[in-house]
Amino acid sequence: MLPVYSPDSHSAYQNRITENFLKYYPDPFSLPSQTWTVIIQFWNLDLSETDILMQDCYSVLGPEPRLPSCMLRSYLLCLKLKVPSITMWVSQLRSNPLYALISGFLPGDTPGIGTFYDFFDRLWNSDSDNFSHKERYKRKKTPKGKKKGEKTPNINATVSARMIKFLKKHKLSGPDSSPLGLIFRLYKQQFLDRSVSNGLINPDGISLAGDGTPVETSARIRYKKICNCGAEHCNCKRRFSQPDCNIGWDSSREKYFNGYHLYMYVASDSSNDLPVFPLLERASRHDMLSFLHSFFLMQEWLPEYRIAKILLDSAHDSDAVYRYCLEKGIQPFIDLNERNLGNHIYKDTFYLDENGAPVCAKTEKKFHSDGCEPTRKRQKWRCPMADKEGCHCDTPCSNSPYGRTVHTCVKDDPRRINDPPRGSTQWKNEFDRRTSVERSNKREKEDYILEDGRHRSSKMWYCRLYCIMMLQHLDAWEMPAIGDFQTAFAVKLAA
């Protein structure tokens, strides 16, 4: 049958805790402060919309199911306490009354392992647990030979230009037709939107930092032969247990790994490094390709978000990306790739340095900034040998007593001519916020042990990832002080 929904389900959850708390903890205030911090967070976490959004996921017939809000809350608590597996969590729910109460269950009446996996099946809107078919041909091995500390080679600039052109022409599907549409709506409506309402994220002009990070799911690729050809090393199809994963290079750990390439967008203008949108790609994908795919998908799934700034590392340094940002009114803050600093388009009398400032070819001196024209998106520069009295160059390249002037326009070379100018204090201060995505990835992988899931399907990895993101938002919300909460909680226990 359908889960029983009540408009005051969150109040009923709180009443269930207060009615049963003293039965198992006669001296509740002897619990450590870390435990009270978790109790306060989940006490104030209203998940009643979960029951509404998941009504269609249950059959009208059959026994009464567990409330979806309690199942989601229990899994969030499992991740909060860093319990690596559902089997271990079910055991702890049965042995620890506090965990059962915080989850929303009565001690002695907690769900089993199968109930949790049934809940995950309902979160995934597809009959297949993966995006790719399990039966496919083996791919060629990743070429070896990367040196210690070496990054994945940069892709050809024309590849990013062709991919942008393709993605602009072919519209990506929205969350309604995606297998992870439901888990995305649960995350957006109950966590992301609440962070927006709390003033932690500004969707009207958000500044996003994007970066990819490896997620290792297993030590090696798991597959088995399904043919009867009899050959020891054949080229027939294999059955893969993780068809969405493959081999990639992890430059930070300096090794090859099997798993995903997680591309994450974080609100860099938020003081809490809050995640906004993730995408799991195959491990072998370059940051640039993952960025383009996830960026267009994010615009389709979060159309109300107006992106004002985008902060990226040197792996995204491509003229096509700059020009797309210019077209959409987005300020790009992208680090220059040292292997892509040539291709000057200006006259022989001067050239541009890495910060986009003109340098005199004769004197090797940088031109002086002489104002800007915001409406025309260009900046004016004056001869380095000129001052208030005029130009003092021995071999002037201009007949004007004022000295040679140069205008650098963003549209001519958007990679090195930025607004604000690359290398300026304003540009550096903004680009320094790019590390927010690295801190967010660290929290997911180390603080919430993302890679300890040991799952074999994209369904479970996305459920784990999105629930960890929910906890990141929950940690950023303002909560009552422990002393104030205990005072109010004591009144409820005595009532």
Any domain includes 94: yes
Any domain includes 446: yes
Any domain includes 370: yes
* Residue 247 belongs to domain spanning: 135-338+432-476
Query: Whole-prediction pTM value?
Result: 0.85
What torsion do the CA atoms of 380, 381, 386, 388 make, to the nearest 10 degrees? 40
Instruction: Kindly report whether the peptide bond that precedes residue 420 is cis, defined as omega within 30 degrees of 0.
Output: yes
Q: Work out the mean pLDDT of the chain and round it to a whole number.
A: 87
- Per-residue pLDDT, averaged over 424-444, amounts to 93
Say yes or no: 311 and 189 in one domain: yes
Q: What is the CATH number of the domain that holds 160?
A: 3.30.420.10
How many percent of the chain have pLDDT more than 90? 59
Any domain includes 482: no
Cα separation, 309 vs 165, in Å, equals 21
Say yes or no: 199 and 66 in one domain: no
- Per-residue pLDDT, averaged over 364-392, amounts to 75
Say yes or no: 406 and 453 in one domain: no
Cα dist. 173→126, 127, 149, 179, 468 in Å? Answer: 15, 18, 37, 11, 24
Any domain includes 494: no
Say yes or no: 142 and 117 in one domain: no
Cβ-based burial of 417 (10 A; exposed 0-12, middle 13-18, buried ≥19): buried
Say yes or no: 201 and 252 in one domain: yes
- Per-residue pLDDT, averaged over 432-444, amounts to 95
Q: For the chain, first and last CA: distance in Å?
A: 34
- Per-residue pLDDT, averaged over 74-94, amounts to 96
pLDDT in tens, 174-233: 999 999 999 999 999 999 999 999 999 999 999 999 999 999 998 888 888 888 887 777
Say if residues 244 and 458 touch (Cβ distance below 8 Å): yes
Backbone torsions φ then ψ of 381, nearest 5 degrees: -130, 150
- Per-residue pLDDT, averaged over 59-86, amounts to 92
pLDDT band at 348 (very low <50, low <70, confident <90, very high): low
- Per-residue pLDDT, averaged over 443-471, amounts to 95
Say if residues 477 and 37 touch (Cβ distance below 8 Å): no
pLDDT band at 474 (very low <50, low <70, confident <90, very high): very high
pLDDT in tens, 239-249: 888 899 998 88
Any domain includes 420: no
Say yes or no: 99 and 166 in one domain: no
Say if residues 71 and 115 touch (Cβ distance below 8 Å): yes
pLDDT in tens, 151-162: 655 565 678 889
pLDDT above 80: residue 142: no
